[in-house]
């Protein structure tokens, strides 16, 4: 098994890792309700995808205080 003759410097390792970045999520507005959603996904607010309703969204019930 091959072993390195010398230790890599910290700068060399950091240069190699410069491309390890987290990408920003691509949000697009929903054509029905104009809320931001992930592209190519069902809108979680209105339930529409590609101009038709594919999921029925029930309104959340408010909790009563005791």
Judge contact between 36 and 27, C-beta under 8 A: yes
**DSSP element (H, E) containing 36:** strand 36-38
Neighbours of 18 (CB within 10 A): 7
**Residue-level pLDDT at 42:** 95
The answer to whether 48 and 35 are in contact (CB under 8 A) is no
User: What was the pLDDT predicted at 66?
Assistant: 73
pLDDT per position in the chain (66 positions), as tens? 889 899 999 999 999 999 999 988 899 999 999 999 999 999 999 999 999 999 898 888 888 777
The single residue listed with the structure tokens 């607010």 is: 45
Domain chopping of the chain, boundaries? 25-58
């Amino acid at each position: 098994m091959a072993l390195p003759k010398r230790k890599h410097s910290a700068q060399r390792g950091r240069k190699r890792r410069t491309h390890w970045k987290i990408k920003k999520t691509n949000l697009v507005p929903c054509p029905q309700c104009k809320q931001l959603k992930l592209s190519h996904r069902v809108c979680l607010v209105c339930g529409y995808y590609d101009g038709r309703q594919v999921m029925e969204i029930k309104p959340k019930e408010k909790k009563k205080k005791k």
